[in-house]
C-alpha cells in the first residue's frame, strides 16, 4: 500500500513539473536549440532523480553511449526508457508519431528540436526529408532514435520488428547501435504502480554497415531481445509479471 501511495505521489509531482520546467525554459528555448535540449534534459533528470528517493527506483545507463551521428534502434517498454535515452545521448532525435506534436509542452519542444514526426505509412518520406535537411545544414545532425517495434511493448509480449528500421539503416549507411532495456518491468505501459529496483538502458555493440536487410534485422532483433531478457531476469522479472496492468 505504501508503494502505491509513493507511486501516485511520484506521478502527480512529475506531471506538475512538466509545464513548470517547460515554461521556465521557454524564453531560452525560443531563441536557442540548446535551450530546448536543456529543458528536456532538465525534466528527464528531475524525473530520474525523484524516482530514486520517492519510489526507490534507480536508473542506470550501461554500455558505450554514441556521441556522433548514428542510428540508434531501441527497445521501447515505457516512457522511462525515452527519458533515459534522451538524457544519455548528446543530441537525440526521435522518430515519433505525428500526433505527439499536438500534445501540450512535449509537442512544442519536439518541434523546436526537429524531432521526426511521421504519419503511419509515410515514415520513409519524412526520414528522407530529415536526412536531406541534415546534409544541407538546415538542421543539426545528431543521434537518430527509432523504436524498431513501432510502439511500447510490455515485458514478455512478442511484437514484430518493423522493416522501416532496415530501410533507414540502408539509407543512412551508418552503423546502428542497438539498445536494450528492462524499464517496462518497473514503469509499465499502463497503470499507476511503480516498482522499486534498478532500471537499466544498455547501449550494445554497434551493428556494422553493409549487411543485407534480412541479416541486419536478424542481428538487431537477436541482440536487443536477448539483452533485454537478461536485464529483465536480473531485475527479478518472471513471465507471470507480464500480465498487463
Q: Which long-range contacts (CB under 8 A, 24 or more apart) does 19-26 make?
A: 19/104, 19/105, 21/46, 22/105, 22/108, 22/109
How far is the CA of 96 from the CAs of 46, 50, 119, 152, in angstroms? 23, 26, 9, 12
pTM, two decimals, is 0.90
Query: What confidence tens digit (pLDDT) does each residue in 154-206 have?
Result: 998 889 998 888 988 888 888 999 999 999 999 998 889 999 999 999 999 99
pLDDT value for 213: 93
Query: What confidence tens digit (pLDDT) does each residue in 87-145 have?
Result: 999 999 998 888 888 888 999 999 999 888 877 656 666 666 666 665 555 556 679 99
Q: Quick one: average pLDDT of 53-77?
A: 95
pLDDT value for 244: 45
How far is the CA of 172 from the CAs of 36, 163, 175, in angstroms? 26, 14, 9
Amino acid at each position: 500500500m505504501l508503494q502505491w501511495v509513493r507511486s501516485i505521489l511520484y506521478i502527480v509531482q512529475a506531471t506538475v513539473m512538466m509545464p513548470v520546467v517547460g515554461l521556465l525554459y521557454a524564453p531560452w528555448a525560443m531563441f536557442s536549440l540548446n535551450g530546448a535540449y536543456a529543458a528536456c534534459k532538465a525534466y528527464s533528470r528531475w524525473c530520474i532523480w525523484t524516482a530514486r528517493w520517492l519510489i526507490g527506483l534507480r536508473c542506470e545507463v550501461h554500455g558505450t553511449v554514441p556521441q556522433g551521428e548514428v542510428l540508434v534502434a531501441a527497445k521501447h517498454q515505457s516512457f522511462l526508457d525515452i527519458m533515459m535515452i534522451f538524457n544519455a545521448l548528446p543530441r537525440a532525435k526521435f522518430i515519433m508519431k505525428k500526433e505527439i506534436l499536438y500534445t501540450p509542452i512535449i509537442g512544442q519542444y519536439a518541434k523546436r528540436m526537429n524531432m521526426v514526426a511521421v504519419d503511419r505509412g509515410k515514415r520513409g518520406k519524412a526520414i528522407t526529408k530529415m536526412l536531406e535537411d541534415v546534409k544541407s545544414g538546415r538542421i543539426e545532425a545528431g543521434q537518430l532514435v527509432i523504436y524498431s517495434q513501432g510502439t511500447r511493448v510490455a515485458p514478455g509480449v512478442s511484437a514484430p520488428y518493423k522493416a522501416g528500421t532496415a530501410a533507414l539503416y540502408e539509407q543512412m549507411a551508418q552503423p546502428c547501435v542497438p539498445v536494450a532495456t528492462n524499464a517496462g518491468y518497473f514503469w509499465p505501459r499502463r497503470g499507476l504502480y511503480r516498482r522499486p529496483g534498478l532500471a537499466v538502458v544498455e547501449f550494445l555493440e554497434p551493428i556494422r554497415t553493409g549487411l543485407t536487410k534480412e541479416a541486419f534485422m536478424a542481428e538487431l532483433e537477436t541482440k536487443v531481445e536477448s539483452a533485454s531478457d537478461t536485464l529483465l531476469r536480473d531485475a527479478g522479472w518472471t513471465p507471470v509479471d507480464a500480465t498487463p496492468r
